[in-house]
Amino acid sequence: MIISATGGKKDFAPCPEFSGRAVCVDVTPLKEYETQYGVKQKFKFAFEIDLQDDSRDPVQPWVVMTAPMTASLHEKAGLTKFLKDWHGRALTAEETTSLNLDSLIGRPATVVIVHELSKDGTKTFSNIKLIMPHKSGEALKPSGLWVRMEDRPPKDDDQVKTITPDGSTKRSPD
Quote the pTM value.
0.81
String of DSSP letters for 70-104:
ES---TTSHHHHHHHHHHTSPPPHHHHH---GGGG
Q: Which residues have a Cβ under 8 Å from the Cβ of 144 and sit 6 or more positions away? A: none
What pLDDT score does 1 carry? 32
Q: Which residues of 118-145 are buried (b: 16+ CB within 10 A; e: fewer)?
A: eeeeeeeebbbeebeebeeeeebebeee
Determine the Cα–Cα distance for residues 147 and 117; give it in Å rounded to an integer.
28
For residue 6, which of 98, 118, 122, 111 has the smallest C-alpha distance? 122
What pLDDT score does 13 carry? 86
Q: 61 and 51 in contact (C-beta within 8 Å)?
A: yes
Cα 169–chain centre separation: 16
Q: Which residues have a Cβ under 8 Å from the Cβ of 47 and sit 6 or more positions away? A: 22, 23, 24, 25, 63, 64, 65, 66, 109, 111, 128
Mean pLDDT, 10 residues at a time, the chain of 174 residues: 43 89 97 90 96 89 95 92 97 89 96 94 93 94 94 71 52 50
**Tell me, what amino acid is at 18?**
F
What pLDDT score does 55 carry? 86
- The count of other CB atoms within 10 Å of the CB of residue 7 is 5
